[in-house]
Structure formats: structure tokens, C-alpha cells
Structure 1
């Protein structure tokens, strides 16, 4: 009995749980057009806090009333984050006016903390429209009105009244032209305000100044707790005195991409907490000397992409906490970048002065910048650097001097830069380097001297024991020998592209025992010693493209780690896979003179995945020419005439084969046969366009090859629609698109033919034996349902005898037949089309066309027929087309 009670109790519990689960799941069903989403809570202190958002798509904002009616009381209580997105396909105007909504807008969502409204074409935000949402912490209203230039968003002075807990307000991309004064004052808790991508021109209308009539009669202080203000991408022309003076807590001020031309002396008064200011991409030509006297806590200043040509003395004085200063893309000259410009910036870490007009670097310009780690001076006009100009920069890690006018690197240019890691001096006019110029750079990892005028490998490189990357490309270097890189045991990458090297000797790179990447492209290399790289067993990639090599045998076989090799655009003629290490995966040999992909030793341990042998002289290709490991194969623009059957069998990783631009006329279906491709892989893609494919009766399969994909033993030919065919029977266009052809267009020529069912083949008088008449050409499709006999323009004066009885189309045009006697075509029961035009015919017998009941088309135009008696066509019951014009 007790057991029965326990079972009954458990059953009841399960039933109640299931019912509750069903009820909860029904409550969790989102209204039509909405869905529940789990996202990171932007308002939470913990960055990993996840919240649930109800995201709804509406036609207009008016649809929220229907949405509220479709929510259960449980769901209304649950919603603390809501996203409303209106249709952006067509212009539907939305309204927040009270008479457009039953009750207060979203008034029932008492727990709402985060509200996003996107793409709703709202023109006006009424007074206190969201005042019932007293718990709201984040509000984003983005109409994207900039997409509709006639629409601009306007506000009532009391639009945000009641939102006392709001911390984040996003009004970006609304085409706002003006704002009521003090519109943000009711937002006592506001910390972040985003007004980017609007049309604001006047900063004073924002109500962020408490200056009033001066210290004795100050104005109202609003939004004193604001920390981030984004005014970027507006049309602000100037910053007035005291315009932001009430923002005592402001940390970040973003003013980039405006139309700023001037800043008042006291523009930043009151911004004692400011740490980041961005005024990049404006039209500033100068800055007032006292601009930064108030914000002494600045950490980052961005002034790039202006027209600054002057930096007033003392402008940066006292900013001893500044870490990042970006002055790039201006018009500064050496006259204004001097010993006092950066004085006192002891905590500066990043200094950008690139893309200016500096002509020299004096000894004391960077004095006392002990914390500086990144200095960018590229794209200036620097011709001279004073000795020890960088010696105070004890912590400098990266120095960029590229794209200047330096002609020589002297001994003391880089003195005392003991921790420098990267030095870029590319695209200068450097002709020489002092042998001790780099001796202090003991920690250098990356040296770039690309695009200069060096004629030899600079002396002194051997002191750079920790160098990992060396770029000497685009110089005038002629020779490389075993002493060139002595001491660079840790070098991983060496770039010597576009020099004048003609020979690579066996010991050229003998000291580079750790080398991984070697780029010798675009030189004049004619010869490389066999085993030239035998001392570099760690090399993984070599570029030798665009040289003058004719032979690479024995050059790479000693490189067990090589995976990438580019020898394209050379003069290589003979190639065999035995020339390569088995580790190679990527091989580019395009633009050479290779006539055969040799595999003399039938190597089967190749790992090549990408092979490019396009633009060579290959005439044939078969299975042993292509590694089984291949994934991508380029054979285009060779002189290929034959692709052997089974060429792509056992290539289980094949993805792409390019065969276009060759001389291929015929392909067996077996030439494109594949080992069965697994159901989990995509079918390989082949390209065969721009070949003179001859579409005879053996090629009809090509038109339907993509319909065989279910067998997974043939590729997808991606460019079938571009394949143009030459035709076996060239009446009409000599080239026709493959996909426009019908089955009867695929023809083969024959002289004689006799079916196995014909028993009189050995006799002359045999109706089922087909013999092509003299001076004629005969064609059939692969089923013999189409049988064309072309005796046109053959100088016949009478219809030739022994025209095959199974002919379906006969051409006798262009002859000199004069008259057609009785029963000329009798017995040709399959004849459907007959051409007798242009044959000087004057008379037609009443019974000429007897015995050809299937004839549908008869051409007799351009003859000399004057009279038809009415009985000539009696027997042609299936005739559809009769041409008698020009008689």
C-alpha cells in the first residue's frame, strides 16, 4: 500500500512539473515578428554578464501598441532589454506623439533598463515621452535619417525629462541639425553621450557650459558626471571659450571628422579630468598656445589629418602624463618641430609625425623622451639627421624613417638605441652605410632598407645577432658572398627582390643557418650552384620568380623543410619532380618553357597541393604527370592537345583544375574521370573554356557532364557556358556555343557503314548498306538517328545514285540539275530536310517526291521553275516548310 502511495505521489510531481514546463515554454514564445536573444549586457559592471533581449521588427514605431497587447503579464515583467527595428526598405514615417499610442509609450515595461530603436523614421521626440521608464539605464535612438536627407530629428526641451537613471544615450546617425538648450540637463546620471554622424554646427547649443557671465555670475551646471562625449562626424566649425566647462568628469572627447577651423584659447577650460581628445580629420591650421592648460591629465591627443603648419611654443608644456601624440598628415616643418616642442613629455610612449614636411632632425628635438617606444617619421622630407639625435630614447622599440630623402647612414645616427626592435628606412636615397652605424642596435629584430641605392650588402650587419628579418629589396646589389651575412645566425627572413644579382654561389648563404624565407625574385639570376642552399636546411619558402634561370636540377633537393617554391617567369625548359624535395606543397612554375612534367623515377611520395604550370609549352598530360596530393592545378595557356584518360584518378584531395586557353579539341569522358568523391566533400571545379573543342558525335557527353554529379565521379565544369565548339558539319556558323547545341548537332563523318542487322553488306545493291557518294560528305550522330548527306556545290548534273537510304537531311544545293525526274528520292523514308535550291532546276516531275513521306522541309528557292501543275507535292503529307521564292 505504501509503495502505491509513493508511485502516485511521484506521478503527481512529474505531471505538475511537466505542466509547469509547458506553461513556461508558452510564456517564452515571442510575439509575431519578435525573438528572444541572449547578448552581453553593456550596462553591467561585469563585462561577461549576459542578458535576454526581446528583438522585434516593425513597419513603424506605431506597431509597439500591438506588440504590447500580444505580451503576457509574465513576459512584460520579464523584459528588461528591448530592441525595436523598423522597416528600412521603404520610407514609413514613425511618430512618438501621445495621440499615436494608447497610453504612455512602452509605459507597461516598468522594468525596462535598455531600449534600442533602429531605422524608425521619427521626426520629433515629444516632451517626457519616456518618462514612465524610470529604471532605464541605456537608450539608443538611431533613425538613420542620413539615408533620407529630407528627414531630420528634432527634440522638445523636455524630451528626456524623467530619465533620471539614464547612463548611456546614443543619438548617432539621426540627421540632427540643432538641439534645444539644456535638453540633456534632466539626465542627472548620464555618463556617455553619442552624437556622432549628425549635422550639428554649434557646440554652445548643447548646454555644456556653466560659465554664464563669468565667475561672479556662473550659469547652470548640467551633466557634470558625463565621462564620454562623441561629437565626431558632424559639421562643427569652432570650439568657443568655456563651451564645455561644466563637464568636469569628462574623460573622452571625440571631435574627429568635423569642419573645425579654429579653437578658442579657453576651449577646454573645466575639463580637468580629460584623458583622451581626438580632433583628427578637421581643417585646423594652428592651435592656441594655452589650449591644453586646463586638461593636465591628458593621456592621448589625436590631431592627424589636419592642416597644421605651426605648433605654438609651450603648447604641450605641462602634459607630463601624455602617452600618445599623433600629428601625422599635417604640414609641419622643422622650423616648428624643435628642441622645445616635446620638452617635458616624459611619459610619452607613441609619437606620430609622419606625412609632414620635416627636412632635418636636430640633436635635441627628442630630448628627455625617455619613455618613448614608437617614433614614426615616415613620408617627410628629411635629408639630414644630427649625430646622437635619438640617444635620449632609451626605450625606443620601433623607429620609422621610410619615404624620406636620406642619402647616407652615419656612425652615430642610431647611437644608444639598445632596445630598438624595428628600424624601417625604406624608400630613401641611401647609397652607403657606415660600417659601425648599426653596432648599438644589439636588440634589433627587423631591419628594412628596401628601395634605396645600395650597391652592396652593408657592412656591419654581423653585429645584429638577434636580427630576424632583413629587407634589402629594390636596391642595386650585384653580388652576394659568404661574408655578406656573417653573424646573422638567427635571421629568419631575407628579401633581396629587384636587385642586380646574376649568380648564386654555393656559399652565398652559408652563414644563415636559421633562414626560413628567402626572396630573390626579379633579379637577373642565370645560374644557381647545385646544393647552393645545402647550408640552409630550415628554409621553408623560396622566391626566384622573374629571373633568367634555365635549369633548377639539383638546386633544391637538399632542403627537407621547403614547402613553398616560386620559379615562375624564367626560362626553364627541363623539369622533373626529382628536382624537388618531397616536403614541397606549393609550386609555381608558370611562364617558363617547360614541355613536360617529368616523373622519371615515378615518385609517389610528393606532397604538392598547389601546382601552377600555366603559360608553358606542355602538349600532353597524364596521371603520372600530376601528384596524387594535388588540390589546385593550373594548366591554362599551354599548348595542350591531349588530356589522357585517367589523368585525375586517385587525386583524392582535388579541388580545382584550370585547363582553359589550350588547344584541346577532343576529350574522352575518362579524361575527366575522378576517384569517387566522398559525400562530405565538394565536387572539384574544372575550367575548360577558350579551347577549340570539336563537337563531333563523341563529345555530346560534355554538354551534360554537370548532370552526373550524383555519381560523384566527375567534376563540375564551371565554365560550360563559355565553351565554343567547332562543328564537324560547318553549314552556318563555324563556332557555336556548346550549350546551344542539340543532340543532332554532334556529328561524325563516315564513308561507308553497315549495321550488324544488315545481311547484304557484301553486295552493291543493298538498301541497308550506306556508302557516301563521290564528291559528297556524310555525317551521323552517335545514335545514327541523324544522317546527313551533303552533296552541295559538287558539280552534279543529276541526282547522284546510291545516296544512303537512311539519310535524314540531303544537301543538293549549288549543283546544275536542270530537271528532276520521277521518283528521284524513292525509298528514303527517313528523309526530313531536302535542299535543292540554287541548282538551275527548271522542271519538276509530278512524281519527283514520291516515296519520301517524312519530308518536313523542302528548299527549292533560287531556281528557274516557271510552272507547277499542282500534283508535285501530293505525297508530302508531313511537309511544313516549302521555299519557292526567286523562281
Structure 2
């Protein structure tokens, strides 16, 4: 036979005698300031033969009141059958002999009171106690303790030595205290201890043998302390220790203390002072590493590391190479670093790689060879927030076989690049292949046979003082020569423009006369601008053999006359801009030489004339 009883405080409290301490006339919420005699008497009962086969289980909850003393005084009290007792959020100041009448209690909550001390061995009078909550009090010392313990948010300056006698203790919470030093050979005496929480204390180091030989320790939280050193042998022989949290400390190096924590799978060392991440200093079986917001500038060799997920957000890493990343890596978060370069084949051997986060770095370009891995899965790459150029190195994002099977750029519509020629900002999902350009000083197309010579059909040399760009497939070649200096103009001629140029922009130069054959034999030239360069005259056949030229802009010069003889074998021109000149005569021969001309901008730009072929 079994009876489960729950004591309700409202049956015994004299609410007529209760009022607000600070305002007796208050009509607001009532609080229990003392326990009535009826309630105290109800806790006592005479022994009876009829109850010898009855097991009584009782829950007592008098939390959130103003009780200042425990109502237990007599050993014959029915309270000796209480299993769960909750006196949290009251005004208890001392913990003494009253507990001797709670021999059956398993869970005792005394949190959020005003306790400053406990009477010696008082808690040992509760031999079955498994869970004790003493958090948010004013405790500075504990004489004896039972099973699971929460001592957080107190004023403890050291770990109570009494815990060494709690052989069945599984979890102890000592967080938010003022503990400055940890005792040696105490935690390892608690053979069943699984979890230790010491976050938000004042620890400056972890000495040898503090946590060593803790056979069942699974989780250790040392975050938010002042730890600057982990001593050798502080974490040895902990075969079940899987998690360590050392975040928000002052560690400048990990030395070899963590390398001895052979079972650890998850480690958090965020917000410390680490400058160099040496993979060899980490636990040998580590799988998950969080090292955010340090000052890490360099990653060491990762030849033996087995780490699978790594977060290094908010550090100062500037470059990546293959030997710095474990081959077992699956997820790598490098958000908000200073990465400018990712070496080719960095992830080639990372066959399990799934996700690479490079947001908010200093990357201007990223080649296909830098991110493609040999695994069967595609890699999700995040690049948002980098100062990306619309570079030819990005040509692979337009290759369907790469995007679908190897690399997936996450958030392409929000990832922007700047056009290297006109400065236009373009989303990666909207950029055209011809806008993905790399600058060059000289470049040879694949299988070019004249590389050892000067300009030729397959070799391009950028004129001094100019800026030149080409796409990955050598189908687009842009040359910009603007406002050249005196010394640069002495060596510049239009003939110096690469033969393979497709778009040429000349502006702010000194070219009073365009001589015959100035642009002879530019078979790929499609767009030619010569603006504000002081052109007064153009000799016959200055634009000679330009079969693909469609747009010619000669605006803002000093041209007086065009006859048509200036053009030879350049019949594809459809747009001619002459505004901003001093034209007096345009002869009919111009129309004959440019049969495809459909649009011409006239004198001073005041009109636009459409001409039929």
C-alpha cells in the first residue's frame, strides 16, 4: 500500500496575520512571513501499528515567501517522510540542526535565500539527499555536502574540501563565485563525478593533478575566468572527458596540457589571447574546435589532426594553404578574419569537406583550384562581405559542371563584385562571363608560339601607364590609357595597343594627329574610345582593317573635317560619336565607307542623327 501526500501551505497559514513588511496596509500580493502553529502541529503524528505497512511520500513547496526559519524541531515530525522540499526564494539566513528531521529527503532547494553559512555536518543528517540547490545565497564556506549540488551565485573563495567525501556525487555547479584556486587530489576522489561547472570565477591557472584521474568526468566548464596557464598533468587520465570549455579566459598558449586530454572531442577556447594555433597542442581525438575571437594570425601544420568541424571566426588569419587544414575537415568557419589569399589545392585532399565560410574577409578573388575538393560532395562556400573584384578567377562560377558537382556559392545574389574597368557593382548571379576580368602587364594565350617576341596575335603587352584586363578564355581584352604623364606619352603610340584588344579606351592623351594605320590590323577590336585627347586631324586609313569594330567614340576632341578616307576595311561600324568637336564638314564619302552606320552623335553633342545604311 502506498500513499502520496502533498502538503499545501494554504491549509495551514494564517493569512489574516500576514501583510507586506514594508507596507502593512498594502492590499497587494501577500507573503508568508511565518508558519502558523496549526501547520507546525500537522507535521507531527503519533506512531500507529496500522501504518507499519504504509509508505508515505510527501512533497513540500513553500517557495517564494518570506520564511526566515525552518519549521522542523522534533524528531517525531512527519517531515521525516518528505522526499522533495522547496524553500527557495525565502529569507533563510542559517542552516543548522533543523535538517536532522529530514532523513528521507532526496531533493532540497534552498536557493535564492540569505544563507551565509551552514552548521558543521548539518547536511550529513540527510543521508539520502541527492540534489541540493544552494545557488544565489551569500555562502562563503560549506562544511559538508550531499549528492548533486548547485552552489552557483554565492561568495565561495575556494572549493569546499567536503565534496571529497561525496563518493556518489555526479554533478557540481560552482559557477558565479569568487574561487581563485583549485585544490589538488580532491575531484579525483569523487569516483562518479560526471560534470564540473566552474564558470565565472577568478581562477588564474589550472595546477597539476587538479582534474587528473577523474575516471568518469565527462564535461568541464572553466569559462569566464582569468586562466592564463594550464599546467602539465592537470588533465591527464580522464578517459571519459569529452567536453572542455575554456572560453573567455587569458590563454596565450595551450602548451601540451590539452594534448594529454586524450578523450576530449569538443573544445571551446574562444575569446582568449591565442596568436598561433598549433594543432599538435590539441587533444589527439578532438573532433570539434571553437576558437573564435582570439588574435590568431597563423595556423600550424595539421598533419595528424582528426578535427571535423572548426570555427575560427573573428581572428586575424591572412592566408590559407593545404597543410594548415586537417584532411578530416568537414566544416570550416573563417568569418571575419583578414584572409587575402587561398592557395591552390588548399582543399583538394579534404574529401569530407562540406562547408567553407569565408564571409567578411579581405578576398578580392578566389580561384576554382583553391576550393575544389576531390570528395563526392559539393562544398558550400560563403563569400558575402568580401571586397571581391569581378575577376577572371571567378570564371568557374559560370561553369555548370563545377557549380552543380563541386562548389556551391551560397547567397550569390547578395555576394557582390566590383567591375575592374567601370567600377560597377554586380551580384555574382548577375555577372556576365565577359565582365570577369583580370589585369595583366603582359600575357600569352595558351599554345602561343610567339611569346619570346613583342606584340603578336597571341601575346599582349600592356603599354606603360595603361591598365589592361583580359577574361579567362582570352575572348575579351580591355585596354585603358587615361591621363598619361609626359614621360609615358613620349613612348606611347596607338600602335602600342595589343593586337588582341577588344575594347580600347584612350582619354586625356595628347594625340593631335591620328596617323595612317594607327590601329592597323586589330581583328578583334569591337569598341574604341578616343576622347578628350586634342585630335585635330585624322589621316587617311587611320582606322584600317578593323573588321569587328562596331562602336567608335571620337567625342570631345578638336576634329574639323571627316571625309570617309579615314576608314578602310572597317565597314562594321554602326555607332559613331563625334559630339564635342569642331566639325564643319562631313562628306558623303563617310556614309559610303560605313554602310552599317545607324547612329551618329553630332557637333557639340546637340543632336543625334540616325542614318540609313
Which interval holds the TM-score relative to the shorter structure? Answer: 0.7 to 0.9
**Does 1:886 find its partner at 2:581?**
no
Aligned partners of 1:454, 1:761: CA distance in 2, in Å? Answer: 78
Contact 2:309 2:330 in 1 (8 A): yes
Structure 2 SS opposite 1:373 = strand
Deviation at 1:746, TM superposition (A): 1.8
**Does 1:375 find its partner at 2:85?**
yes
Deviation at 1:696, TM superposition (A): 2.7
Give the structure 1 partner of residue 311 of structure 2.
Answer: 612
Deviation at 1:385, TM superposition (A): 4.3
Aligned partners of 1:377, 1:300: CA distance in 2, in Å? Answer: 15
Deviation at 1:652, TM superposition (A): 3.3
Deviation at 1:499, TM superposition (A): 1.0
Number of aligned residue pairs: give it: 550
Give the structure 1 partner of residue 412 of structure 2.
Answer: 720
Counterparts of residues 495-514 of structure 1 (less than 5 Å)? 495-510=197-212, 512-514=214-216
Deviation at 1:694, TM superposition (A): 2.9
Deviation at 1:375, TM superposition (A): 2.6
Deviation at 1:475, TM superposition (A): 1.0
Picking from 506, 511, 525, the partner of 1:796 is 511
Give the structure 1 partner of residue 21 of structure 2.
Answer: none
Contact 1:348 1:369 in 2 (8 A): no
Change (3 A) 1:337 1:797: farther
Give deviations 1:585-623, integer Å, cap 9, x for gaps.
Answer: 1112222233332227x32xx331211223223233233
Task: Please report the TM-score for the alignment, with normalisation by the length of structure 2.
Answer: 0.79
Unpaired segments ≥5 residues, structure 1: 1-296, 304-309, 317-329
Picking from 141, 150, 153, the partner of 1:451 is 153
Counterparts of residues 681-696 of structure 1 (less than 5 Å)? 683-696=378-391
Structure 1 SS opposite 2:396 = helix
Aligned partners of 1:421, 1:758: CA distance in 2, in Å? Answer: 82
Task: Please report the TM-score for the alignment, with normalisation by the length of structure 1.
Answer: 0.56
Change (3 A) 1:839 1:360: farther
Give the structure 2 partner of residue 424 of structure 1.
Answer: 133
Unpaired segments ≥5 residues, structure 2: 16-27, 46-55, 477-501, 607-613
Give deviations 1:683-724, integer Å, cap 9, x for gaps.
Answer: 43221222233333332112446x5355x3x13221222322
Contact 1:362 1:385 in 2 (8 A): no
Counterparts of residues 402-441 of structure 1 (less than 5 Å)? 402-411=111-120, 414=123, 416-433=125-142, 435=143, 437-438=144-145, 441=146
Deviation at 1:859, TM superposition (A): 3.5
Aligned partners of 2:410, 2:420: CA distance in 1, in Å? Answer: 25
Give deviations 1:75-112, integer Å, cap 9, x for gaps.
Answer: xxxxxxxxxxxxxxxxxxxxxxxxxxxxxxxxxxxxxx
Change (3 A) 1:477 1:499: same
**Does 1:632 find its partner at 2:331?**
yes
Deviation at 1:774, TM superposition (A): 5.4
RMSD: 3.6
Structure 2 SS opposite 1:744 = helix
Aligned partners of 1:455, 1:810: CA distance in 2, in Å? Answer: 80
Change (3 A) 1:503 1:692: same
Give the structure 2 partner of residue 210 of structure 1.
Answer: none
Picking from 329, 333, 355, the partner of 2:31 is 333
**Does 1:554 find its partner at 2:260?**
no
Contact 1:823 1:850 in 2 (8 A): yes
Picking from 346, 349, 352, the partner of 2:58 is 349
Aligned partners of 1:663, 1:613: CA distance in 2, in Å? Answer: 15
Give deviations 1:1-20, integer Å, cap 9, x for gaps.
Answer: xxxxxxxxxxxxxxxxxxxx
Structure 1 SS opposite 2:531 = coil
**Does 1:540 find its partner at 2:250?**
no
Aligned partners of 1:343, 1:804: CA distance in 2, in Å? Answer: 114
Contact 1:339 1:364 in 2 (8 A): no
Deviation at 1:478, TM superposition (A): 1.0
Counterparts of residues 64-83 of structure 1 (less than 5 Å)? none
Structure 1 SS opposite 2:310 = strand
Aligned partners of 2:292, 2:528: CA distance in 1, in Å? Answer: 49
Change (3 A) 1:365 1:881: farther
Change (3 A) 1:775 1:591: closer
Give deviations 1:538-564, integer Å, cap 9, x for gaps.
Answer: 422211111111111211222221212
Aligned partners of 2:58, 2:270: CA distance in 1, in Å? Answer: 45
Picking from 565, 577, 582, the partner of 2:279 is 577
Deviation at 1:524, TM superposition (A): 0.9
Deviation at 1:769, TM superposition (A): 7.3
Give the structure 2 partner of residue 740 of structure 1.
Answer: 430
Give deviations 1:105-126, integer Å, cap 9, x for gaps.
Answer: xxxxxxxxxxxxxxxxxxxxxx
